[in-house]
Amino acid sequence: MAVISPNAPTAELQALDAAHHLHPFTHGAGLRDKGARVITRAEGVWLTDSEGERILDAMAGLWCVNVGYGRKELAAAAARQMEELPYYNTFFQTTHVPAIQLAAKLAELAPGDLNHVFFASSGSEANDTNIRLVRTYWAEKGEPQRDVIIGRWNGYHGSSVGSGSLGGMKGMHAQGGMPIPGIHHIDQPDWWSEGGDMSPEDFGLARARALEAAIERIGPDRVGAFIAEPVQGAGGVIVAPETYWPEVQRIVDKYGILLIADEVICGFGRTGNWFGSQTLGVSPHIMTVAKGLSSGYQPIGGSIVNDEVAAVISGTEFNHGYTYSGHPVACAVALENLRILEEEGVVDRVREETGPYLKARFEELADHPLVGEAKIVGMMGSIALTPDKATRAPFAADAGTAGYICRERCFANNLVMRHVGDRMIVSPPLVISKEEIDTLIERARRSLDEAHAQLTEQGLM
Ligand code: PMP
């Protein structure tokens, strides 16, 4: 079998990639012409590419490498587990030690009586599980008609048909027959783009009350659950006004519907607490986890449910599961990752030291002529690009044009930031040092300067 050498010239790797590899969320032909950047190694917050460039990864991969790259303990945990028991399932009345240990550890870390875990291999799978959990829960309680789940426009819950339906990404819904029946969406609490003349506080209340209006419209006896990210990630790091979550909690309690907090990004320290729900003061019945659970070193996710949901589900045979539910190697790596986060005080440091430092430095960017607002919670933040700060005006060019230009300048300056429309996002590894934060901000500012010059030159400002 001929396999291309990892040290082959970049152009050869790119050509083979273009010939055989279909990339997620990518315009294939566009990438073929350009060539993908080939990442070869990583350490801490630094990526290395096939040209030997060192790149600061201000996105922690896809918001997931919380403990940073190159942690040998995680590799060792995987190797140990592969030798001991590389695979066994958790179907048919069997279990194994890593799944037992990880489920118990998650029950300890998760707030309140969220004490039970159903494992999956990704956030998408876990949210698909949630659809089935919610509907089975209500059926078991004698209310099978409560099968409607409400999500939010511009929310993101995954890319499978079920989880993509829960999400409110219209571009995704346009391909492949989503949403599935029984999923409704309400508007998001994005004051910057949609708040108009309202104060953020009034707007937050109004968007929360959209949930109540939807429940009343659909019928309180039809709605089973509301799903939301504590802080919307892929939608652009949208931080809801402070009035939003308390009102959502009131509504969820009033109608007795299940609240699913999608903690896939917010979980495991990203917002300065173990879970985003804690930062925002909400009490979900179900939490979706993935990403930071293993810091991305192994594909693993899960649904953590409270005592009551678990008790109801346990009253029937739940006809659902994945070959890799509770995969022993993934569980062993996740457990070791949680040990690192806990013993090294990573979450506390984000809350008390590096998070506030990043916030202070990140918010300085708001003085840039291209930047409207800079918003950050813990270590997830975004800046809104605008040609007019005072009116919060969008660009005349298609949404995303300015963001893309800025993202490309970042990439050229060896900084990975992501753009969502015309918002620029950071979500670095939680172990980033203050010195590295300074480098991040310096490169971001340089990239903004260059993007500003380019936009001005093209008449887009
Ligand atoms: N939920 C949220 C909040 C996410 O951000 C993501 C991934 N970006 C998912 C679910 C889906 O996770 P995965 O890509 O592991 O399926």
Ligand 1: nearest atom to the Cα of 62: 8
Among 189, 355, 337, CA closest to 273: 355
Residues 416-442: what's their mean pLDDT? Answer: 98
Whether the CB-CB separation of 10 and 50 falls below 8 Å is answered with: yes
Cβ–ligand 1 distance for 122 under 6 Å, the answer yes
Q: Would you state the structure tokens that stand for residue 275, as one six-digit string?
A: 């879970």
Which DSSP symbol is given to 406? H
The pLDDT score that the predictor gives to residue 213 is 98
Distance 123 CA to ligand 1 centre (A): 5
Q: What is the pTM of this model?
A: 0.98
- % of the chain exceeding 90 in pLDDT: 99
Residues 435-442: what's their mean pLDDT? Answer: 98
Residues 124-152: what's their mean pLDDT? Answer: 98
* pLDDT of 159 higher than 80: yes
C-alpha dihedral, 311 to 316 to 320 to 321, nearest 10°: 60
What type of residue sits at position 232? Q
Q: How far apart are CA 199 and CA 64, in angstroms?
A: 33
Strand partners, 424: 383, 419
Among 275, 286, 330, CA closest to 117: 286
Cβ–ligand 1 distance for 167 under 6 Å, the answer no
Give the model's confidence band at 163: pLDDT under 50 very low, under 70 low, under 90 confident, else very high: very high
Give the total residue count for the chain: 461
The pLDDT score that the predictor gives to residue 258 is 98
Among 303, 359, 323, CA closest to 107: 303
Q: Would you state the structure tokens that stand for residue 201, as one six-digit string?
A: 């506080």
Hey, which of 66, 119, 124, 128 would you mutate to test ligand 1's pocket, going by the most ligand atoms within 8 Å of its Cβ? 124
Hey, which of 25, 154, 157 would you mutate to test ligand 1's pocket, going by the most ligand atoms within 8 Å of its Cβ? 157
Dihedral of alpha carbons 409, 414, 420, 423, sign:
negative
Q: Whose CA is nearest to atom 10 of ligand 1?
A: 157
Q: Is 255 exposed, middle or buried (0-12, 13-18, 19+ CB in 10 A)?
A: middle
Cβ–ligand 1 distance for 290 under 6 Å, the answer yes
* pLDDT of 1 higher than 80: no
What type of residue sits at position 440? L
Other beta carbons less than 10 A from residue 70's beta carbon? 13
Cβ–ligand 1 distance for 336 under 6 Å, the answer no
The pLDDT score that the predictor gives to residue 127 is 98
Distance 263 CA to ligand 1 centre (A): 9
Cβ–ligand 1 distance for 230 under 6 Å, the answer no
Residues 79-87: what's their mean pLDDT? Answer: 98
The pLDDT score that the predictor gives to residue 428 is 98
Cβ–ligand 1 distance for 270 under 6 Å, the answer no
Model pLDDT for residues 298-332, shown as the tens digit of each residue: 999 999 999 999 999 999 999 999 999 999 999 99
Q: How far apart are CA 187 and CA 209, in angstroms?
A: 10
Ligand 1: nearest atom to the Cα of 299: 15
What residues have CB less than 8 Å from 35, skipping those under 6 apart?
Answer: 10, 11, 14, 17, 18
Q: How far apart are CA 45 and CA 431, in angstroms?
A: 8
Q: Would you state the structure tokens that stand for residue 308, as one six-digit string?
A: 């009551």
Model pLDDT for residues 357-389, shown as the tens digit of each residue: 999 999 999 999 999 999 999 999 999 999 999
Give the model's confidence band at 452: pLDDT under 50 very low, under 70 low, under 90 confident, else very high: very high
The pLDDT score that the predictor gives to residue 220 is 98
Phi–psi pair at 363, nearest 5 degrees? -70, -20
Model pLDDT for residues 233-268, shown as the tens digit of each residue: 999 999 999 999 999 999 999 999 999 999 999 999
Among 243, 229, 208, CA closest to 380: 229
Hey, which of 59, 63, 264 would you mutate to test ligand 1's pocket, going by the most ligand atoms within 8 Å of its Cβ? 264
The pLDDT score that the predictor gives to residue 341 is 98
Cβ–ligand 1 distance for 265 under 6 Å, the answer yes
Which DSSP symbol is given to 159? S
Model pLDDT for residues 193-240, shown as the tens digit of each residue: 999 999 999 999 999 999 999 999 999 999 999 999 999 999 999 999
Phi–psi pair at 280, nearest 5 degrees? -95, 0
How many CA atoms are closer than 13 Å to the CA of 270, on its beta-carbon side? 36
Bond before 179 cis per omega within 30 degrees: yes
Q: Would you state the structure tokens that stand for residue 176, as one six-digit string?
A: 């492949």
Cβ–ligand 1 distance for 276 under 6 Å, the answer no
Under DSSP, is residue 274 helix (H, G, I), strand (E, B) or coil? coil
Ligand 1: nearest atom to the Cα of 127: 10
The pLDDT score that the predictor gives to residue 2 is 82
Residues 404-408: what's their mean pLDDT? Answer: 97
Whether the CB-CB separation of 434 and 357 falls below 8 Å is answered with: yes
Cα 355–359–361 angle (5° rounding)? 120
Distance 209 CA to ligand 1 centre (A): 26
Domains of the chain: 37-67+345-457 (3.90.1150.10), 72-343 (3.40.640.10)
Q: Would you state the structure tokens that stand for residue 273, as one six-digit string?
A: 């607490």
Cβ–ligand 1 distance for 124 under 6 Å, the answer yes
Q: Would you state the structure tokens that stand for residue 268, as one six-digit string?
A: 């495991």
Q: Whose CA is nearest to atom 1 of ligand 1?
A: 157
The pLDDT score that the predictor gives to residue 73 is 98
Q: Among all chains, which residue has been given the structure tokens 């996740």? A: 334
- % of the chain exceeding 70 in pLDDT: 100
Cβ–ligand 1 distance for 428 under 6 Å, the answer no
Strand partners, 419: 424
Whether the CB-CB separation of 155 and 172 falls below 8 Å is answered with: no
Give the model's confidence band at 461: pLDDT under 50 very low, under 70 low, under 90 confident, else very high: confident
The pLDDT score that the predictor gives to residue 304 is 99
